[in-house]
Structure 1
Amino acid sequence: MSKLKALIKEIEILRSKMIELKEGRYYSHPEVVAASQDLDIVLDKYQLMLRK
C-alpha cells in the first residue's frame, strides 16, 4: 500500500473514532479534543505529501 493510501486509511479510522467519541459528549470533552488533535496531525502529514 502506498504511503498516501495508508494515510487516507488512517484518516478514515481516526475520523470515525472521533465521531464515535463525540456521541453524547461536548466538542470540548478531553477525549474528543485528543481525537481531533490526532486527526489534525495525520491531516497535516497528508497535506504535506500532496504538496511534494
Structure 2
Amino acid sequence: MTNEDLFVQIENLRIKMVRVGLSKGFTSVETVSLSERLDKLINLQMGLLTKISA
C-alpha cells in the first residue's frame, strides 16, 4: 500500500465519519468505530512517512 493509497482511504473514511456523525451524533457507536478505524489508518500513514524520511 502506497502513501497515496492511504491518503485516499483516509480522506474517504473521514468524509464518511463526518456524515455519520452529523446524522447519528458524534458519540454514536458507528461514528466512534469509524473514528477508531481512521486513527489506525493515520497511524499507518505516519509510520510510512517516518520510514520514507529516515
Do both share a fold (TM > 0.5)? yes
- 2:27 matched residue in structure 1: 28
Identity of aligned residues (%): 27
Structure 1 runs of 4+ with >4 Å offset? none
Structure 1 counterpart SS, 2:26: coil
Unaligned 5+ residue runs, structure 1? none
TM-score of the aligned structures, taking structure 1 as reference length: 0.88
Counterpart residue type for residue 25 of structure 1: K
TM value normalised by structure 2:
0.85
Helix, strand or coil: the match of 2:30?
helix
**Relative contact order: is structure 1 or structure 2 higher (C-alpha 8 Å, sep ≥ 6)?**
1
Root-mean-square deviation (Å): 1.2
Higher fraction of helix: 2
Aligned mates of 2:25, 2:18 — CA distance in 1? 11
Question: What's the CA shift string for 1:1-52, capped at 9, x where partnerless?
Answer: x700000000000000001101133321101100100100100000000100
2:6 matched to 1:4? no
